[in-house]
Chain A
Amino acid sequence: MPSKRVLITGLSTYWGGRLAQELEADPDVEAIIGIDRTPPKVELERTEFVQVADHHTLIRRIVQGAEIDTVVDTRLVIDSITTTPRKAHENNVIGTMNILAACSGPDTTVKKVVFRSSAHYYGCEQDDPSFFTEDMRRPHAPRTALERDIVEAEAAVGDFGAKHPQTTVTVLRFTHGLGPDIRTSHSQLLSLPVVPTILGFDPRYQFVHEDDIAGALAHAVREDLDGIYNVAADGVLALSEIISLLGKTNAPILPPWGTGLAVAAAKRLGIRIPREMVQELRFGRGLDNRRLKATGYRFRYTSRETIEKLREHQRVQPMLRDAGGEYRYEREVEDFLRWSPSVRREGEAEWRPSRDQIAALRRTLDSLEAGREPTGTDR
């Protein structure tokens, strides 16, 4: 079933915004509605934004009112430096439950739920396989609050799927996204001139380009993918390889023992390394992306090309800084552009019946009125 009326939760996150842009280009998608607590950060043409917190009765009203058939949940916090653990828990666990609650019920219009998850689900341990597949359960209990929240959120989505067999439930586990517009602790680490690494370790890393993030989410909206899918580009790189591709210096300054203390010291110097990342800097992680590829999705970039793109961006970034102001959402302007009859909307060729069609319709109506079978309809 192709999705026509889509609700994006977390429109103001990078993922939600990019997905909305991607879906706007698709004429099959009739309505795109985005919700979030804060205004969107990217320019949107026809997406309607509703500023609302994750409250299930409100979301439910939006879902019912707009006859939403597909809900894409992109709110998940995957980087513990972006917010406090408490807020992350509120968002990742309670928020997910609210959104699922808004989609459930016997009279719901929702036919598909796409949940953006993270490869943090798998964690990062010494005895991990080199390539995680979707069927692998997390081998160890979660180490950090963030991982625990992600596991819990996924369990809620799994429960929802079990209770709603008619609904297509897609879980996309994304590896680290990289690109000019995405800011995570990994992109911050890789933008330093000297990249701190743990002495004696060279972890394996896999990335996904930001275009592929939007592409994979849109793919899940267009196709019916039931189940869990890893989203990670082809190719697993060693950290040393990444650093040399970026033309940076590899600085193995974090000691292999007592790494936690060194990380605390680095924090004082302004380099924040979240706990998930410390594990990854030691053991790395690779994902098997073949299940998603088998559904017909083709990645536009490999991990290596993603890094090369990042390098290009890092080269031109100093020139671009202060060039153009950042996008700011202006409610009044957006509303005017969307709803005012004075605005000439490009590409919106309004359908008008032709003279012949009106004549045919009139004849049909006349004949129906006269109680006869309609005859001589042109169409």
Chain B
Amino acid sequence: MAGETTTALTPTDPRDLLPGLEPDRRLDDWGRSERIEGLFDSTVYEFYYRIWFRCEVEGIENVPGTGGALLVSNHAGALPPDAAMITKAIREEHPQPRLVRPLVENFFKGYPGLSMLLPKIGCVPAHPANAHRLLADEGQLALVFPEGRKGSEKLYKERYRLRRFGRGGFVETAMKAGVPIIPIAVIGAEEAQPIFAHVSALQKLTKLIYFPITPTFPALGPLAALAFLPAKFKIRFLEPVRTDDMGAAPWEDASLVQEVAQEIRARIQEELLDMIGRRRSVWFG
């Protein structure tokens, strides 16, 4: 098309043009349902948070009260409970309870049922454009697990050993949005649902992302994937890493992006070892 100069556009902040909230809507534009999320929050999450995992939270003051921020955590458990517990922790412990939008891998969009449920409870498909809109335009909290499925599928014997942090895409996203990264270290999830082995033949047959052998699954049936052992959870929010003071367009600098990603990974790993070192019992903390 012809040059941009012919277009007489008034420079407008794209944030001002976001659609307003319609009060009668039951869902927001991402598909989150206040009612369904509330229902989960007051029953399942409440039970696991208070009674089953007895979550203990440190450093909640590192989560900003306003504006966008990217929460980055380690990931574990065949059906990882860590996202729900971090979300719940910010809702329960933060002086200004905020909504957290976990970014989930988009293969869930292909699973019937899950594809329906996950958006309703606030999850957003992980896509750089989605993360940018959440963080920069809407000023929300987004939660990512850069290890992805490599984190949740690792075996019990590899517990608390962080996997590769993707390709550093999360750092790029935070830099572009100009929001801080808040690293999070979580312990307990590895013991809550340890994976002893993978059955690749059954994985191919069921077309699941993996087919793990856990203490309850598949021996007690498919619903047993929801069963966790009552390990004590500890969630530690670490000091934010600012991304808005790294010069102009820091995301263009691939080595800087990798460096920041490595640094965040190292900090979480260090913090995890510290937390495990202090832990007297897996079940009682």
Measured CB to CB, the residues of A under 8 A from B are 126-131, 133, 136, 158, 161-162, 164-169, 171, 198-202, 204, 223-228, 234-238, 241, 256, 282-283, 286, 288-290, 293-296, 302, 304
Contacts and interface: CB of A to CB of B under 8 A. Distances in A.
B22 A226 contact: no
B27 A237 contact: yes
Interface residues of B, number: 42
A304 B129 contact: no
A131 B121 CA distance: 19
A286 B27 CA distance: 14
A24 B12 CA distance: 31
Contacts of A226: 1-4, 6-7
Given A236-B29, A237-B27, A126 B110 contact: yes
B247 interface: no
B182 interface: no
B125 A130 contact: yes
Given A226-B6, A294-B12, A238 B133 contact: no
A136 B129 contact: yes
A370 to B, nearest CB: 48
B6 A224 contact: yes
B106 to A, nearest CB: 5
Contacts, number: 116
A165 B2 contact: yes
A161 B20 contact: no
Contacts of A293: 17
15 contacts: A128-B127, A130-B129, A131-B133, A168-B6, A200-B112, A201-B112, A202-B115, A202-B116, A202-B120, A224-B8, A226-B7, A241-B25, A283-B109, A296-B10, A302-B22
A241 B27 contact: yes
B112 A202 contact: no
A296 B17 CA distance: 10
Interface string B23-53: 0111101110000000000000000000000
B201 interface: no
B125 A166 contact: no
B18 A290 contact: yes
A225 B125 contact: no
Given A168-B6, A201-B115, A224-B7, A162 B31 contact: no
B7 A227 contact: yes
B196 interface: no
A241 B34 CA distance: 13
B249 to A, nearest CB: 17
A237 B24 CA distance: 12
Contacts of A238: 27, 31, 119
B136 interface: no
B25 A235 contact: yes
Nearest to A136: B129
A161 B19 contact: no
Interface in B205-241: none
A372 B2 CA distance: 49
Given A164-B2, A224-B7, A133 B129 contact: yes
Q: Would you list the 3 A-B pairs with minimal beta carbon distance, nearest first?
A: A200-B112, A234-B19, A256-B112
B199 interface: no
Contacts of B130: 129-131
Contact of B109 (A126, A167, A241): A126
B284 interface: no
Contacts of A199: 112
A28 to B, nearest CB: 17
Nearest to B107: A126
Nearest to A244: B26
Given A198-B112, A237-B25, A286-B29, 20 more contacts: A127-B125, A129-B125, A129-B130, A130-B125, A130-B130, A131-B129, A131-B133, A133-B129, A136-B129, A164-B2, A165-B2, A204-B119, A227-B4, A236-B30, A282-B115, A290-B17, A294-B12, A296-B10, A304-B22, A304-B25
Contacts of B120: 202
B254 interface: no
Contacts of B111: 200
A204 B26 CA distance: 13
A294 B114 CA distance: 36
B142 interface: no
A200 B24 CA distance: 25
Nearest to A200: B112
B30 A304 contact: no
B14 A290 contact: yes
Contacts of B8: 223-224
B3 A127 contact: no
A127 B12 contact: no
Contacts of A225: 7
A295 B4 CA distance: 13
Contacts of B129: 129-131, 133, 136
A294 B14 CA distance: 8
Contacts of B277: none
B9 interface: yes
Contacts of B29: 130-131, 204, 235-236, 286
Contacts of B128: 129
A237 B8 CA distance: 32
B124 interface: yes
Contact of B2 (A161, A202, A235): A161
B20 A169 contact: no
Contacts of A241: 25-27
B144 to A, nearest CB: 15
Contacts of A128: 127
Contacts of B107: 126
A93 B3 CA distance: 25
Contacts of B20: 234
